[in-house]
Structure 1
Amino acid sequence: MPQKIQMRLASNRVDTSVVINRDIPAIYTPGQIISNQNEFLRGHGTYEENGQLKASVAGVREKVDILISVRPLKSRYHGKVGDVVVGRIIEVQQKRWKVNTNSILDSVLLISSVNLPGGELRRRSAEDEHMMRKYLQEGDLISAEVQSVYSDGSLSLHTRSLKYGKLGQGVLVKVFPSLIKISKTHFHNLSIGVSLILGTNGFIWICPIINNTEENVGGFVQNLEEVVPKSIRATMARIRNCILALAQSKVMLFDSSITYAYEESTKYTLAELLLPEVMADVALSTQQKLILSETE
């Protein structure tokens, strides 16, 4: 005899216990009805069926006039001019570096878009091209800004400001780009002795406090010889676990949410922060703190 198989819709399997803030937009699942097709125009991430507009991807609804689209929660990074990103050098080419920025295509960092050691503003020579691997080589992590977007969607980066450049000792955490909250600054020095670079491409860099007064020669200096105290390393590891806990519960990541999560995590050990129930508790407590801070 054929066996009966019962299946639940994706909307019935979504755990909404953490998302308690009414200001957070609802998350639509594939096949969920958004509206009647007669009322709105169909955008990306939607389709029409039986006169109704439905979501074709899991994400957040975005409405512009009468155009409705669904922005997926899980997607590659789509860069815009001015975005702060963290990337990894994957190839050294003629007059350029190829950079992995979690986008569909590899990004490009031209040798003319970096500050050479000493901050010299001059034309790049053949000698500079021969020394490119000395400046940045495969595997190096950098922070940069999106300078332009090519017609095929690939990004052109630059590190003209001395706050950008090669990254030294630290921890890299990868989350979905949609969880990074866009703000005026993505460089944060937390009071607990840790600096954060919240890349809009979903790459988050955690490192010891960055001293902006130090002379950063062309953005290529690394602190690999410096000994990071054990207490700072433990704080960096705790921040990393807090970010993963917030990301798992789809809580937006910015300086305040990460700080609140760190404060809530102090009642647990570093190893306990990897347990699913502990991660959910930290995320829920952080969400409640965010709501209280907004109402005050």
Structure 2
Amino acid sequence: MMRKIQLPFTQTQKVRYERAIERLQSLSSTVNSDASVIVTDTIPVNHEDAFLKGHGTSEVDGELLATVCGVVERVDKLVYVRTLRARYKPEVGDIVVGRVIEVCCSKRWRVELNFTQDGVLMLSSMNMPDGSQVLFVISSPDFECMLVYVILSFSVLAELRTIQHDGSLQLHARSHKYGKRSKHHFHYIESLGIDLIIGCNGFIWVGEHVEVRDPVMMIDDQKDDEMIISSSSTTKERSHTPLETRQNICRIGNAIRVLSNLGFTVTVEVITETVNLSNSKNVDIYDMLESEFHVMVAESEAERRRQREKVNSHQ
């Protein structure tokens, strides 16, 4: 069950794309019987072998049941249901990537998280990597307006701290590493010099790799007679981002967009393979969003899964 996309396919591209999708569906049904499930459907598993219950599953009276609609996926012993299209379901401890959409006052921001409610990030819950703070003491209305405008362009990396009774999400960002699942979210693609952060909420941050992360701005309105800016002595001076790095960021971003359009599970491995495919086929960055590259990615994914199934069948 792949997502239907609206692209201006030529007749040849349409045939190739449909053939690749048929292969993917065939492989999915071979690996996972009754792969498409709805809530309360039974997921067939071999109870004699150990298995791990993943997202979208629950064990009831000795049976593994689906708790969401989607497609059954199996990774080694892990069995989970991949929802075809859903908003983020928050859990305490999640690593999330969001965008500041409102500066409610000088002490908290409202952050869009791909959820029915926005997150709230108190500035008292934000530290620099070395534990120090950057304080802006606002003394001018013009400066305050300018600062608010700049903040609204910020992307925020944070951990979900609590879920309030009213459903609001409280965030904190006291370190650049969070939670027990952080190793699944923070990635460094060394060959490209790029940092990749895959949030639990479905948002992905792509940027230049840095050894010391940039300080987080903190606003303090307790004083109104001057503006104080303090920074960490360990923060290295920022320089321009090289053209090659910016091109890598754009190429990775377009790879993620293509995978999302096709409805494929987005992992760092699949992202890297998609980037490598675009380079090996000499596809320009701006051509990656065209119909032909979507077809190429679908064909490549079908072949990758076929090879994986072939290897598994011989083990």
With normalisation by structure 1, the TM-score equals 0.64
Taking every aligned residue pair, what percent have the same amino acid on both sides? Answer: 31
Indicate yes or no: 2:271 matched with 1:272: no
Q: Distance in 2 between matches of 1:188 and 1:257?
A: 13
Q: Alignment partner for residue 250 of structure 2, among 229, 237, 240?
A: 237
In the alignment, is the contact (CA less than 8 A) between 2:125 and 2:173 conserved in 1?
yes
Q: Distance in 1 between matches of 2:291 and 2:84?
A: 21
In the alignment, is the contact (CA less than 8 A) between 1:84 and 1:199 conserved in 2?
yes
Q: Alignment partner for residue 169 of structure 2, among 138, 155, 159?
A: 155
Q: Which residue of 2 aligns with 1:81?
A: 92
CA deviation string 1:2-36 (max 9, x = no partner): xxxxxxxx9xx9x5444534546834589xx957x
- Please give the secondary structure, in 1, of the residue aligned with 2:162: strand
In the alignment, is the contact (CA less than 8 A) between 1:98 and 1:109 conserved in 2?
yes
Q: Which residue of 1 aligns with 2:276?
A: 263
What is the Cα deviation at residue 192 of structure 1? 1.7
- Please give the secondary structure, in 2, of the residue aligned with 1:70: coil
Query: Normalized per residue, which structure has more helix?
Result: 2
**Residues 17 and 277 of structure 1: is their aligned pair in 2 closer, same or farther, counting only changes over 3 Å?**
farther
Q: Alignment partner for residue 64 of structure 1, among 55, 59, 66?
A: 59
Indicate yes or no: 2:150 matched with 1:106: no
What is the Cα deviation at residue 111 of structure 1? 2.5
Q: Number of matched residues? A: 236
Q: Which residue of 2 aligns with 1:26?
A: 35
Q: Distance in 1 between matches of 2:89 and 2:261?
A: 21
Q: Which residue of 1 aligns with 2:79?
A: none
In the alignment, is the contact (CA less than 8 A) between 1:117 and 1:219 conserved in 2?
no
Indicate yes or no: 2:300 matched with 1:285: yes
**Residues 293 and 26 of structure 1: is their aligned pair in 2 closer, same or farther, counting only changes over 3 Å?**
closer
**Residues 89 and 34 of structure 1: is their aligned pair in 2 closer, same or farther, counting only changes over 3 Å?**
same
With normalisation by structure 2, the TM-score equals 0.61
In the alignment, is the contact (CA less than 8 A) between 1:119 and 1:217 conserved in 2?
no
Q: Which residue of 1 aligns with 2:104?
A: 93
Indicate yes or no: 2:110 matched with 1:115: no
What is the Cα deviation at residue 239 of structure 1? 1.2
Q: Distance in 2 between matches of 1:278 and 1:226?
A: 34
Query: Structure 1: which amino acid aligns with 2:251?
Result: R
- Which stretch shifts more, 134-143 or 74-83? 134-143
The aligned runs of 1:204-223 (5 Å cut-off) are 204-211=204-211, 214=212, 216-218=214-216
In the alignment, is the contact (CA less than 8 A) between 1:77 and 1:102 conserved in 2?
yes
**Residues 148 and 163 of structure 1: is their aligned pair in 2 closer, same or farther, counting only changes over 3 Å?**
same
Runs of at least 5 residues in structure 2 that lack an aligned partner in the other structure: 5-17, 43-54, 70-82, 219-230
What is the Cα deviation at residue 100 of structure 1? 0.8
What is the Cα deviation at residue 206 of structure 1? 1.2
Query: Structure 1: which amino acid aligns with 2:175?
Result: S
In the alignment, is the contact (CA less than 8 A) between 2:38 and 2:68 conserved in 1?
no
- Please give the secondary structure, in 2, of the residue aligned with 1:110: strand
In the alignment, is the contact (CA less than 8 A) between 1:143 and 1:159 conserved in 2?
yes
What is the Cα deviation at residue 198 of structure 1? 0.8
Q: Distance in 1 between matches of 2:277 and 2:182?
A: 23
Query: Structure 2: which amino acid aligns with 1:284?
Result: E
- The higher relative CO (CA closer than 8 Å, separation ≥ 6) is in 2
Runs of at least 5 residues in structure 1 that lack an aligned partner in the other structure: 1-9, 36-59, 165-181
Query: Structure 2: which amino acid aligns with 1:64?
Result: E
- Please give the secondary structure, in 1, of the residue aligned with 2:257: helix
What is the Cα deviation at residue 147 of structure 1? 1.0
What is the Cα deviation at residue 92 of structure 1? 2.1
CA deviation string 1:224-282 (max 9, x = no partner): 96322222222222111211222222221111111111111210232332222421321
What is the Cα deviation at residue 114 of structure 1? 1.2
Q: Which residue of 1 aligns with 2:186?
A: 187
In the alignment, is the contact (CA less than 8 A) between 1:144 and 1:157 conserved in 2?
yes
Q: Distance in 1 between matches of 2:186 and 2:214?
A: 16
